[in-house]
Amino acid sequence: MVEVKEINVEEISRRHAVEIKLIDRATIRVEDWVRMKCQFGCGGYGARLTCPPYSPTPDQTRRIIKDYKNALLIHSRNSRKIKEAVPEIERELFLKGFYKAWGMGAGPCRYCHECDIEAGCRFPRKARPAMEACGIDVFATVRLNGFPIEVLTSRTQEQNHYGLILFE
């Protein structure tokens, strides 16, 4: 795990209005079946550069995770908050000298009404693939780290959204 004295998790959490936990990268579960849920169950498949088949594959994600020592798991009840916080915290870490910092958000990108696959991303400083788009089993990962998550059966139920930032 890590001894990262330069990172004040509580202060970052407060500033971004999210809950953050420093986690062991070994608790990040990457499964091949997760990406299939994107392909057969989500209308965003192939429609956004942050979604499959453009996002990292599960095999790539496994290899990428091995390149890092540290991970921050980010929780919010609001998916928009996760989409804003992940690239901002990633940049903060980069500016503190963690030049490899890289994050993943929650759900499909919504910065553009339609993603221009051919021209490339118009918001590369903000857009990040979702954890699930990269093959991460979000349910298993967050449960292993003590955060709440349940299958919801109604839009009126309280939601939990997660992001992840790898760094060293």
| pLDDT tens readout for residues 141-161 | 999 999 999 999 998 999 999
CA separation for the pair 117, 98 (Å, rounded): 30
pTM for this entry: 0.91
- DSSP one-letter code for 25: G
Distances (CA, A) of 108 to 21, 50, 55, 93, 145: 23, 7, 11, 24, 23
pLDDT of residue 4: 64
